[in-house]
Amino acid sequence: MKNSALGIPLSLSEPARAAPPPTDDIFDKLAAGDAATLAKCISLMETGGPAADLIHRRICAKTGRAAVIGFTGAPGAGKSTLIDAYIAVLRGRGAKIAVAAVDPSSPVGGGAILGDRVRMRRHALDPDVFIRSVASRGHLGGLSESIHRVVDVMDAAGHDFIIVETVGTGQSEVEVAEIAEVCVVVNAPNMGDEVQAMKSGVLEIADILVVNKADLPLAQRTTKQLRDMLKLRRSRQDISILETVATKDTGIDALSGAIDGLLAKRTGDKQKSRQRRLRRLIAQTASRLMNDRMREFSGDAMDELMRKAATGEIGIAEAAAQALSLVRP
What is the DSSP code (8-state) at residue 207? S
> What sign does the dihedral 276-210-232-75 (CA atoms) show?
negative
Among the candidates 240, 269, 298, a domain finishes at 269
- Choosing from 251, 269, 287, the residue where a domain stops is 269
Range of the domain at 317: 277-327
Query: Following CA atoms 299, 305, 309, 311 in sequence, which dihedral angle do they give, to the nearest 10 degrees?
Result: 90
In this structure, are 43 and 93 located in the same domain? yes
* 228-233-237-239 Cα dihedral, nearest 10 degrees: -90
Query: Are 161 and 147 spatial neighbours (Cβ–Cβ below 8 Å)?
Result: no
Contact 77, 222 (CB under 8 A): no
Measure the CA–CA gap between 284 and 261, rounded to whole angstroms.
32
Record the pTM: 0.77
The total domain count for the chain is 2
- For residues 199 and 104, is the Cβ–Cβ distance under 8 A? no
Q: Mapping DSSP to helix (H, G, I), strand (E, B) and coil, where does residue 138 land?
A: coil
- Residues 296, 259 share a domain: no
- 242 and 291 part of one domain: no
Q: Which of 95, 98, 71, 67 lies closest to 270 in space, CA to CA?
A: 67
CA 241, CA 196: separation in Å to the nearest integer? 17
Mark whether 282 and 170 lie in a shared domain. no
Query: The CATH number of the domain where 122 resides is what?
Result: 3.40.50.300
Residue that is last in its domain, among 220, 246, 269: 269
Closest CA to 226 of 239, 215, 235: 239
Parallel, antiparallel or unpaired: strands 67-73 and 97-103: unpaired
List phi, psi (to 5°) of 2.
-75, 155
Same domain, yes or no: 88 and 207: yes
Residues 54 and 96 both lie in one domain: yes
247 and 297 co-located in one domain: no
Q: Do residues 187 and 60 both lie within one domain?
A: yes
175/252 same-domain check: yes
pLDDT tens, per residue, the chain with 329 residues: 444 433 434 333 344 445 566 777 899 999 999 999 999 999 988 888 888 888 988 998 888 899 999 998 887 889 999 999 999 999 999 999 999 988 654 333 444 444 455 556 778 789 999 999 886 544 444 445 678 889 999 999 999 999 999 876 544 456 777 788 999 999 888 655 555 545 556 777 889 999 999 999 889 988 888 888 888 777 777 789 999 999 999 999 999 999 999 999 887 666 777 777 677 777 777 887 888 888 888 888 888 988 998 988 988 889 888 888 888 76
125 shares a domain with 223 = yes
| Whether residues 114 and 236 fall in one domain | yes
Could you tell me if 70 and 143 lie in one domain? Answer: yes
Number of helices and strands (H, E) in the chain? 13, 7
